[in-house]
Amino acid sequence: MNGDEACCEAALAAGCRFFAGYPITPATEVAESMSRRLPEIGGIYIQMEDEIASMAAILGASWGGVKSMTSTSGPGFSLMMENIGLGICTETPCVVCNVQRAGPSTGLPTLVAQGDMMQARWGSHGHYEIIALSPSSPQEMFDFTIRAFNLSEYYRLPVILLADETIGHMNERVVIPQEEDIEIVNRRKPTVSREDYLPYEADADGIAPMANCGDGYRIHVTGLTHDDRGYPAMDAKAQEKMISRLVDKIRKNRDKIIRTQNLYLDDAEVVVVSYGISARSAMQAVRDARNEGIKAGLIKLDTVWPFPEELIRSVAPRTRAMIMAEINGGQMALELERSAGGACPVSLVSNLGGKILHPGLILNAVAKAATEKP
Amino acid sequence: MPDKREKHILITGFGGQGIVMAGDILGKAATLYDHKHATMTQNYGPEARGGACSSQVIISSEEILFPCVEEPEILVCMSQEAYTKNIKSLRPEGTLIWDTDLVRTRKTDAVFKAFNIPATRFAEQLGTKMMANIVMLGFLSAVEPLVHAEALKKAVLESVPAATRDNNLRAFNTGREYGHSILKGLVKPEPGKHQD
């Protein structure tokens, strides 16, 4: 099956029973599969009038107690930004799948890019933390979709699945595990009495138990800065408290959220960092480099946000050079450079979208970095 | 670049001919029934029908990383535009397969095996030209056995609407038998059309 179809099957396996979306290449097959599969298992599929409404609908469904998701690509992702912020502010679990195509604007609808990396991080206004995962195969599309639901339920926020056109449309074998072998995380429920429950009173780890609408608890949900009751609290002190918690619940759990796949890091002199479809080209380049006797290594970012700063900071000083391979003008390359903190030179191998990176291009950069004087 | 253990196949034509579906079926046969590794990626334009379209299939005994087919060993052309655009990419000693009625080939010094079949015409004779891709797969299974014929047949049957299975099986067998006949010299291949 292709990556989009794998995303749908994984969402159902994770417990998703509500999908609202608007078809857009190259994410259409997610919606198409959902429209076919959800009614079969008692779920609801709605094609909305646009992506603004789609995002709003999945937030509502989540508060109704149902795991929900939407899928889109560049132009739709732009429209979703405001309500993704609403999801962050109201701490609403849901999953947004963005199968990236080349932008800006309508761009190249049927062709690959990875240009929404920073938009996923900072696209909604205000200061916040986000979680985004980047699959490199239809199998990872399946696995990471499950994980996206689990992370969204646990940390209570919209989790973004940052796929790309090639992965979405690529057909490969996908192994779907037995039901009992799939780990499912559900949102934490209140344990206190109705009288004592405050919807935004967090446990020690910064995460507040969530009562769904209709559970019998008194809840109030607003995009305004709010206090523990969920009521608007319009001052700097309330803002400081709320935003600090929203940021800390992710930042302080970085070690649990961030996952990378590392190859040959122990003795690597040149380390390529990449994600999504580009990570496959990078892995090919690193293997080819090893065959040529160049000590190359790879960090494949399964979690792209939060960025694995600590790992980069520990690897950079013992590395001759680091290279970011991505299909944009250099977005995650900036993060890599920042995290390396000058401990080694950082360069970029990229194109601006429309085709995937050729392993040879990355191999050339690796070879060049391996021979350059420090 | 491509590994020796890998087979690179490029199927080309225009949107609506079932080009992507043909690639999908070939990949399914390789992965699900022959238990190999395979990737299929596709290229198409924004149009639903009529635009240039291709599917790139890699079949390998090992994990496939870079999924693009740059120099196919097997090139299937189902439109003139696809032929003109892709013929230069065919690897020396590779195999060119084209739809007799839809492609005029050009005289070339390059050395490759060449087979043609009026796949669309055969499909029309069987009831609908929509099955030209399945005729072509049957033909491919005879002249270039990339996967087991039974695996490919299973993948065809699994991929088409239930009501059309018999017809598609007929289409597959038509292509396959035509391929065998040509290999055995029982049928003289049609001369094909050439550009001057």
Listed by start position, the domains of chain B span 6-194
Residue pairs spanning A and B at CB distance below 8 A: 49
CA distances from B91 to B112, B126, B185 (A): 8, 34, 26
Query: Which of B1, B40, B45 shows the shortest C-beta gap to A171?
Result: B40
Comparing A14-23, A277-286, B184-193, the range with the smallest average pLDDT is: B184-193
pLDDT (mean) for A13-30 = 97
Do residues A225 and A234 make contact, with C-beta atoms less than 8 angstroms apart?
yes
Asked if A359 and B65 come within 8 Å (Cβ–Cβ), the reply is yes
Interface membership of B3 toward A (CB under 8 Å): no
Question: Residue B1's closest chain A neighbor by CA?
Answer: A360
> What pLDDT, on the 0 to 100 scale, is given for residue B196?
57
Give residue ranges of A with CB < 8 Å to any B CB: 25, 109-110, 166, 169-173, 280-281, 283-284, 287, 356, 358-360
Per-residue pLDDT tens over the stretch A204-213: 999 999 999 9
Nearest to B57 by CA among B34, B78, B30: B30
Interface membership of B45 toward A (CB under 8 Å): yes
**Residue given tokens 């916040």 in the structure block:** A128
Residues of A in contact with B58 (CB under 8 A): none
Identify the CATH number of the domain defined by range A261-371.
Answer: 3.40.50.920
Does the bond joining A306 to the residue before it have cis omega, within 30 degrees of 0? yes
Per-residue pLDDT tens over the stretch B31-72: 999 999 999 998 877 666 678 899 999 999 999 999 999 999
* Three-state secondary structure of B69-119: CCCCCEEEECCHHHHHHHHHHCCCCCEEEEECCCCEECCCCCCCEEEEECH
ipTM: 0.89
State the average pLDDT for chain A. Answer: 97
In chain A, where the domains are located: 3-181, 261-371
Percent of chain A exceeding pLDDT 90 equals 99
Q: Please return the burial class of B49, using the count of CB atoms within 10 Å of its CB with bins 0-12, 13-18 and 19+.
A: exposed
Per-residue pLDDT tens over the stretch A301-317: 999 999 999 999 999 99
Query: Domain B6-194 adopts which CATH fold?
Result: Pyruvate-ferredoxin Oxidoreductase; domain 3 (3.40.920)
pLDDT (mean) for A216-237 = 97
State the average pLDDT for chain B. Answer: 91
Alpha-carbon dihedral B166, B168, B170, B173, rounded to 10 degrees:
-130
Amino acid letter, residue A130: I
> What pLDDT, on the 0 to 100 scale, is given for residue B43?
83
> What pLDDT, on the 0 to 100 scale, is given for residue B4?
57
Asked if B66 and A171 come within 8 Å (Cβ–Cβ), the reply is no
* Torsion A103-A108-A110-A111 (CA) sign: negative
- Give the pair of three-digit tokens for residue A343: 């401990």
Do residues B178 and B118 make contact, with C-beta atoms less than 8 angstroms apart?
no
Neighbours of A179 (CB within 10 A): 8
Interface membership of B159 toward A (CB under 8 Å): no
Residues of A in contact with B41 (CB under 8 A): 166, 169-171
Per-residue pLDDT tens over the stretch A72-121: 999 999 999 999 999 999 999 999 999 999 999 999 999 999 999 999 99
Nearest to A97 by CA among A25, A145, A29, A166: A145
Nearest to A130 by CA among A102, A96, A99, A163: A96
- Mutate which: B1, B56, B65, vs A, most A CBs within 10 A: B65
Could you give the CA distance from residue B155 to residue B40 in angstroms, rounded to a whole number? 14
Identify the band that residue B1 occupies on the pLDDT scale cut at 50, 70 and 90.
very low
Do residues A258 and A333 make contact, with C-beta atoms less than 8 angstroms apart?
no
Asked if A172 and B40 come within 8 Å (Cβ–Cβ), the reply is yes
> What pLDDT, on the 0 to 100 scale, is given for residue A356?
96
> What pLDDT, on the 0 to 100 scale, is given for residue B65?
96
> What pLDDT, on the 0 to 100 scale, is given for residue B44?
77
Asked if B67 and A166 come within 8 Å (Cβ–Cβ), the reply is yes
* pLDDT over 50 at B88, yes or no: yes
pLDDT (mean) for B139-162 = 96
Residues of B in contact with A360 (CB under 8 A): 1
Asked if A171 and B27 come within 8 Å (Cβ–Cβ), the reply is yes
Nearest to A238 by CA among A229, A301, B130: A229
Report helix, strand or coil for B63.
Answer: coil
Per-residue pLDDT tens over the stretch B104-137: 998 877 788 999 999 999 999 999 999 999 999 9
Question: Residue A107's closest chain B neighbor by CA?
Answer: B46
Interface membership of B1 toward A (CB under 8 Å): yes
Identify the band that residue A331 occupies on the pLDDT scale cut at 50, 70 and 90.
very high
- The nearest CA of chain B is from the CA of A166 a distance in Å of 7
Could you give the CA distance from residue B42 to residue A165 in angstroms, rounded to a whole number? 10
Per-residue pLDDT tens over the stretch A248-283: 999 999 999 999 999 999 999 999 999 999 999 999
What beta strand segments (E) does chain B contain? Answer: 6-14, 37-44, 52-60, 74-77, 95-99, 104-105, 113-117, 193-194
Could you give the CA distance from residue A16 to residue A62 in angstroms, rounded to a whole number? 10
Question: Residue A170's closest chain B neighbor by CA?
Answer: B41
- The nearest CA of chain B is from the CA of A170 a distance in Å of 5
Identify the band that residue B188 occupies on the pLDDT scale cut at 50, 70 and 90.
confident
Nearest to A354 by CA among A166, A216, A228, A176: A166
* pLDDT over 60 at B154, yes or no: yes
Query: Domain A3-181 adopts which CATH fold?
Result: Rossmann fold (3.40.50)
Asked if B65 and A360 come within 8 Å (Cβ–Cβ), the reply is no
Give the bridge partners for B10, in sequence order. Answer: B56, B75
